[in-house]
Amino acid sequence: MAIRVRPLDTAIRSARPDDENFLIALSMRVFWPYAEDPAGIVRRILRRGLHEVAVAVQGETRVGFVAVQIEALGRDFGPWQQPSVAYLNAIAVRPNVTNRGIGRRLLEHAESCARARRRFDVVAHC
């Protein structure tokens, strides 16, 4: 039987300008096997302003982040009139605090943000 790790007391808040160095450093540490320039990708995410970026914190310690891009579909889709699509462009948790529910909470936050803005789908962006 697997031991269930109790989630840490983690708050999710909107990213602030002083989070940029953390976002870049964590991206470089976590995404380097998958992207040629993780720092550049995060800088573009922050500069474009098309994303909802949230940071997971434990007290004053930043432990993860999520970036969701929301775009209007530009047409009706099924029962929805002019819906938008939310793309999960980045989600990362510091390696020393994985398997504690932080990533799940970040994903739930991203889904909640998308729904709150009347978005009807969240798509993993590969």
- pLDDT tens over the chain, length 126 residues: 444 444 558 999 999 999 999 999 999 999 988 888 999 888 988 887 768 899 999 999 999 999 998 887 888 888 877 777 888 989 999 999 989 999 999 999 998 888 876 644 445 443
Assigned domain for 64 exists: yes
CATH number at residue 76: 3.40.630.30
Give the chain's domain count. 1
Assigned domain for 1 exists: no
Q: What is the pLDDT of residue 5?
A: 43
Range of the domain at 70: 11-124
**Cα 19 from Cα 43, distance rounded (Å):** 12
Nearest alpha carbon to residue 113 among 78, 65, 44, 77: 65
Assigned domain for 2 exists: no
Eight-state DSSP code of residue 82:
S
Assigned domain for 29 exists: yes
Q: What is the pLDDT of residue 27?
A: 94
Assigned domain for 6 exists: no
